[in-house]
Structure 1
Amino acid sequence: MTAPAPAVPKLVAVIGGGRMGAGIAQVFAVAGSVVCLVERDPAAAAAARDRVAMGLLRATEKGVLAESADLVLERLVLVDDAAGLGADTDLVVEAVPEDAALKIQVLAAAERAVGDNAVLASNTSSLSITGMADGLRRPERFVGLHFFNPVPASRLVEIVTGPQTTDAARESARAWVAGLGKSEVVVRDSPGFATSRLGVLLGLEAIRMLEEGVTDAAAIDRAMELGYRHPMGPLRSTDLVGLDVRLAIAEHLHRELGERFAPPRLLRDKVARGELGRKTGQGFFSWEAS
C-alpha cells in the first residue's frame, strides 16, 4: 500500500521575492502548493520570478526535480499587494528585510486579507516573534518559520513559537516542513532563537580572530570544517548569509544579550565598504559573479 503524500498547504503566500522569499516560494511550489508571491514593484516581481526559474533550472540540471520546471512555474502567481490574497490561503510567510515595524505592517495587511484559519509566519532569523504577534489580531495563529540560505538545498527549518501560539498552529507548521522534505527544530521565542544565537556567536569570534591576525580566513574555516566536521566554516557562512545581515543580527543580539555579541570593527568596516559577501562578489572571500 502506498503511503499518503506528505501534507503541504494548498495555497501559500510569500511576501517578498528576494533571495530568501524566492527560495521559499520555490520549495513550496515544487512540493505542490500554489504560491502567491507578493511584490509591489513590477521589476522586483519579474526579478523574483527569474530567481525561482533559475533555481528550478539548477534543480533540473542536478536531476532532483521530479517534474518539468515549466509545470512548477505554473503554480507560481505574482501578486502586487497582500490585499489581493484570498480567504482560502492556508499559510502566509513574510520574507521582507529584518525590520520589525515593516514585518508587522506586512503581516497585519496579510491578516486582513486571508481567512481566520490561515497560519501567518515570519522568516525572521532573530527578531521577536512575541513582539510581532502583538501587532496581529490572531496572535495564536502566528509562528516563526526560519528557513536557511539557500532554501532549496538547506535541510533545516527552525519553528519558533510565541507564548500565544497554539498547538494546532505549531503542528501545522511541523507537518508542512515535513511535506517540504525538510527537518525542523521547535524553539520558544528568545533573542536569536537557537540557530542565529549560536551561529552568530561563532561567526563573530572567527571575525575577531581574523582581525587579531591569529591566522587567515581560509585556515579559520578549514579548522572548523576538518576539526569539528562543520560543512562550511564560519567566515564563508557569513559571506553566504551576507555581512550586512549578520551585522544587523549581531547588533540586535548585542542589545538583547550583552557584550559577547558586540560586532567587531572589521565586520562594520567591511559592511561600510559594501563588501557584503557572495551577493557583492567580495566579503571575507572573493566570489565569482553568478
Structure 2
Amino acid sequence: MKHIAVIGAGTMGNGIAHTFAQKGFKVNLIDISEAALEKGVNTIAKNLDRMVAKEKITAADKEATLHNISKITDLAKGVSNADLVVEAATENIDLKLKIFKQLDESSPKNAILATNTSSISITKIAAATERPEAVIGMHFMNPVPIMKLVEVIRGYNTSDDVTNTVMELSKQLGKTPTEVNDYPGFVANRILMPMINEAIETLYNGVAGVVEIDTVMKLGMAHPMGPLQLADFIGLDVCLSILHVMYDGFKNPKYAPCPLLVNMVQAGKFGVKSGEGFYDYANSRKAEVVSAQFS
C-alpha cells in the first residue's frame, strides 16, 4: 500500500493523516471545507514542531511528512487512486452511509474502505457498498500519533485477507492492532463509556465533586486521566452519541446516558473543543474545574 485517503480533517482525521504521512505513505486529506483542511494541516505542523523540539524527529522528517500530505476538497478526486480509505467524519450514521456509498462508487475496486467509527456497526456501514468484504473498522485512539492501539473491527462480511492486511498495516504504523467483532461500542467504548457515564452519575447524585472523582480514579485505580477530564477530552457530545448507539443496540438501561450529560451537551458544553465541560479550558487546554455549575 502506498496511497492513503483520509476523509475528514478534524482531530481524528488530521491525526490519522499525520501518522500515515510520517511513515512515508502518500496521503490525500479530504474535507469539503478548505478552512478545515488548512486548520488540520496547521495542527499537524504544530505537532511535528513539538516532536522536533523534543528531538524525536528531525526538521527534515517534519518537512518530508508535510510533503506527503495533499489537501483535497473533491472526494471523488481524492480517493481515485487510494489503496486504503480511512473515513474519520462526524459520528453520524446517515453521514457515514452517504460517504461510503460515494467511496464505493469513486475509489478503485480493490481499495479497502475503513471507518474510524467508535461505535457504529461496521456491518451496517458496509451494507451501503457493493464490497462489504472490503469494509472494516480502524478505530484509532486520540491523540493518534501518540496512542498505540488500533481497534480493528470485522464486520459480518469482512474478509480474512482484508483483516490481515489492516492488521499488518497497523503494525507498519508502529501501532498495536487488536481484532474485535462488530457489536455496539466494540471493546474500547463498551467498557469505557459506562465508566464515564457512571462517573457523571456519581457527580449528578452529589457523591463527590469533579476533582474528587477524578482524583480517586487517578490515584486509586492508576488511570492517567480521570473519567470526567477524559470525557472532556473525547468530547461530551461524542460520549453522548456513543451511549445512544449502545443503548439502542443493547436495549439495556445501564447504557442510558446520565441526564447531566444530556443537559450539558444541549447547553453546548462539549469539553475541550468548546472551551468548557466538566473543566474550564477558556485560557488553555489545561483543566480548571468548573465548580459553580455542579454545586
Give the TM-score, by structure 2 length.
0.92
Deviation at residue 163 of structure 1 after TM alignment: 1.4
Equivalences for 1:49-198 in 2 at 5 Å? 49-66=41-58, 67-85=60-78, 87-198=80-191
Q: Bigger shift: 240-249 or 254-263?
A: 254-263
Q: 1: CA distance between counterparts of 2:209 and 2:53?
A: 35
Q: Which residue type is aligned with residue 50 of structure 2?
A: R
Contact 2:15-2:143 within 8 A present in 1 as well: yes
- Whose relative contact order is higher, 1 or 2, with alpha carbons under 8 Å and at least 6 apart? 1
Query: Is residue 22 of structure 1 aligned with residue 14 of structure 2?
Result: yes
Q: 1: CA distance between counterparts of 2:13 and 2:80?
A: 21
Contact 1:91-1:121 within 8 A present in 2 as well: yes
Query: Is residue 216 of structure 1 aligned with residue 209 of structure 2?
Result: yes
Query: SS of the counterpart of 1:72?
Result: helix
What does the per-residue CA deviation read over 1:124-162, in whole Å, with 9 as the maximum and x for residues that have no partner? 000010101101111101100011111111111100001
Give 5+ residue unaligned stretches, structure 2. 286-295
Q: Are residues 138 and 215 of structure 1, via their aligned partners in 2, closer, same or farther at CA, if it must alter by over 3 Å?
A: same
Q: Which residue type is aligned with residue 261 of structure 1?
A: Y
Q: 2: CA distance between counterparts of 1:118 and 1:212?
A: 50
Deviation at residue 229 of structure 1 after TM alignment: 1.7
Q: 1: CA distance between counterparts of 2:71 and 2:144?
A: 19
Q: Are residues 86 and 128 of structure 1, via their aligned partners in 2, closer, same or farther at CA, if it must alter by over 3 Å?
A: closer
Match of 2:289 in 1: none
Q: 2: CA distance between counterparts of 1:121 and 1:71?
A: 25
Contact 1:82-1:106 within 8 A present in 2 as well: no
Deviation at residue 63 of structure 1 after TM alignment: 2.2
Q: Which residue type is aligned with residue 61 of structure 2?
A: S
Query: SS of the counterpart of 2:246?
Result: helix
Q: Paired residue for 1:227, among 220, 228, 250?
A: 220
Contact 1:85-1:110 within 8 A present in 2 as well: no
Q: Are residues 87 and 44 of structure 1, via their aligned partners in 2, closer, same or farther at CA, if it must alter by over 3 Å?
A: closer
Q: 2: CA distance between counterparts of 1:184 and 1:284?
A: 32
Deviation at residue 58 of structure 1 after TM alignment: 2.1
Q: Which residue type is aligned with residue 49 of structure 2?
A: L
Deviation at residue 111 of structure 1 after TM alignment: 2.3
Contact 1:140-1:165 within 8 A present in 2 as well: yes
Deviation at residue 86 of structure 1 after TM alignment: 5.2
Q: Which residue type is aligned with residue 23 of structure 2?
A: A
Backbone CA RMSD of aligned residues: 1.4
Match of 1:4 in 2: none
Contact 1:206-1:234 within 8 A present in 2 as well: yes
Query: SS of the counterpart of 1:219?
Result: helix
Match of 2:5 in 1: 13
Contact 2:79-2:85 within 8 A present in 1 as well: no
Match of 1:270 in 2: 264
Contact 1:86-1:114 within 8 A present in 2 as well: yes
Give 5+ residue unaligned stretches, structure 1. 1-8
Q: Bigger shift: 206-215 or 272-281?
A: 272-281
Q: Bigger shift: 221-230 or 91-100?
A: 221-230
Query: SS of the counterpart of 2:280?
Result: coil
* Seq. identity, %: 38
Match of 2:288 in 1: none
Q: Which residue type is aligned with residue 289 of structure 1?
A: S
What does the per-residue CA deviation read over 1:164-191, in whole Å, with 9 as the maximum and x for residues that have no partner? 1111100111111111111121101001
Give the TM-score, by structure 1 length.
0.93
Q: Which residue type is aligned with residue 249 of structure 1?
A: I
